Structure 1
Amino acid sequence: MRPLAVGRGELDVWLLPPPDSPRDVPGHELDDRERRRAEAYRRPEDRQMYIAAHVGLRRVLAVYTGLAPHRISLGGERHGGGGERHGRPVVLGVPGAPQFSLSHSHGLALVVVAQSRVGADVQRVPSPGTAEVCLPTLHPAERRELSGLREADRTAAFGRLWARKEAYLKGLGTGLARGADRDYLGEGGLAARPPGWMVGNLPLCPTHVGAAALLGSGDRQVVMRAVGAEYLYGLDAVERLQALPPGLRSMLRDPHTMPEGR
């Protein structure tokens, strides 16, 4: 089969489940750096989630590159002074390879694929306590918006906001080292969001919130695929993923062209 191509005006979203058993995950597809990072996790369940998410990522990327998962070389987008690569991960040595971002949290992994720079975040719906602790770290305008909401609404709004913020910072390649208070990603003033980026939440399950950030302008179509464990971890996973039809479709709206209050 020919490699899958993501459309210029599209964002492909893959929802990846954990395996039914740790024995189902072929850890040999990971590189040495991924194995070292996996071993750094103290809790076995966290280690298995990391391994499963990165095996899933490699199998999804195989669909777009035509390479076997273990032959895909991943590294940071820029070289460091010591010869190491840093920053947002990219596919190395494959001209025209798509941009991607991976996030995983509490039993769910999210991979987004696009032609332009992209970031993604998924996390379990936060508790009210988590929202209150993180509130002071936000942009001043975001704090004002959330403080005016009832506790139940504030917790849900914080979860959506934090997912948007992490997706954007991953798209930049800085992560939270940039500081959560520097950029406005709230809902009350869409035109005040970072220029040149489209950032929005994704329709996920009730237990998780997710978001994607895409460099560029103009509305983009989001094509989502929810993958079953039997598709992702079988011996013919890449072929089955390639043949998996698109599921839910939605839109990632350009905030700078949307009416205020929408």
Structure 2
Amino acid sequence: MGTDACDMSGVHIWVLPILGDVSESSLDLSVLDEEERRRMAAFLHRRDRTLYGFAHVALRAVLSSVTGVAPQALRFTRAPCPCCTELHGRPVLASGSMEFSLSHSRDLVLIGVAPVPIGIDAEPIPEAEVAEELAKLLHPSEYGEVEAAALEDRPAAFARLWARKEAYLKGLGTGLGRDLAADDVRCGLPGWHLTDLPLATTHAGAVAVNSVGPRTVRIHRALPK
């Protein structure tokens, strides 16, 4: 198998900036399934289609490297939703061999792979007014942390907490269907370990892993070959 196949007990994260020479025509879209192609085609703007296509082609390349299955042969399904048990929870491999999470924001894609449920998120640092408004939706202690920061630091403080929140909710499989004020993600949560990710100064990032303690995290800056 491919990337560090002998050591997949830890968490592997791919941080992939989308460079200027990436376009729809430069992507091998043949590896995508019918549903992925349908979703990609539904975007009105070329930039959004390129972002989606790049992210999903990259995800298949990563999972192929980890599992040894050809990219186009990978099949996906959904885990049961923790809220209603319907099959619209977090995306999973039909084989169940590894867990993964995908996030894309502007010109950055994050992919996380682990042997246990995982959620990953990248958030651009927002304008001050946006951070101030959305921070009110967070857990009271999280909102207090944002408000306690210096004015110029509040957008970054908010983005850090929002990335941790989304990573946790993606790992749970509820997404934003769960009350944003229900959990305080400043520290770990029962059964979950949350870690901030070192990204560009324009973004905040986080990974949530279904583990009571920390696992080794390895960051990759290029796709497997």
User: Does TM, scored on the shorter chain, surpass 0.5?
Assistant: yes
Q: Does 1:46 align with 2:42?
A: no
2:105 partner amino acid: S
Any idea what SS the aligned residue of 2:79 has? strand
Residue 203 of structure 1: how far off its partner (Å):
0.8
Other-structure match for 1:29? 31
Determine which of 189, 203, 206 is the counterpart of 1:208.
Answer: 203
Greater Cα offset, 12-21 or 68-77: 12-21
In the alignment, is the contact (CA less than 8 A) between 1:29 and 1:70 conserved in 2?
Answer: yes
Other-structure match for 2:215? 220
Change (3 A) 1:208 1:223: same
In the alignment, is the contact (CA less than 8 A) between 1:6 and 1:12 conserved in 2?
Answer: no
2:34 partner amino acid: D
Q: Mapping of 1:86-235 within 5 angstroms?
A: 86-92=88-94, 94=95, 97-186=97-186, 190=187, 193-227=188-222, 232=223
Change (3 A) 1:129 1:62: same
Under a length normalisation based on structure 2, what TM-score does the superposition of the two structures give? Answer: 0.90
Unaligned runs of 5+ in 2: none
1:148 partner amino acid: A
Other-structure match for 1:67? 69
Change (3 A) 1:148 1:59: same
Residue 2 of structure 1: how far off its partner (Å):
5.7
Hey, what's the Cα distance between the residues in 2 that align with 1:78 and 1:5?
Answer: 30
2:142 partner amino acid: E
Under a length normalisation based on structure 1, what TM-score does the superposition of the two structures give? Answer: 0.78
Q: Percent identity?
A: 42
Hey, what's the Cα distance between the residues in 1 that align with 2:143 and 2:201?
Answer: 24
Other-structure match for 2:8? 7
Any idea what SS the aligned residue of 1:201 has? strand
Hey, what's the Cα distance between the residues in 1 that align with 2:73 and 2:87?
Answer: 18
The total of aligned residue pairs comes to: 218
1:109 partner amino acid: V
Question: Aligned-pair RMSD on alpha carbons?
Answer: 1.8
Structure 1 runs, 4 residues or longer, greater than 6 Å off = none
CA deviations over 1:67-88 (Å, ceiling 9, x no partner): 1111100111239xxxx94210
Residue 6 of structure 1: how far off its partner (Å):
4.2
Residue 220 of structure 1: how far off its partner (Å):
1.6
Unaligned runs of 5+ in 1: 233-240, 243-262
Residue 152 of structure 1: how far off its partner (Å):
1.4
Q: Does 1:78 align with 2:80?
A: yes
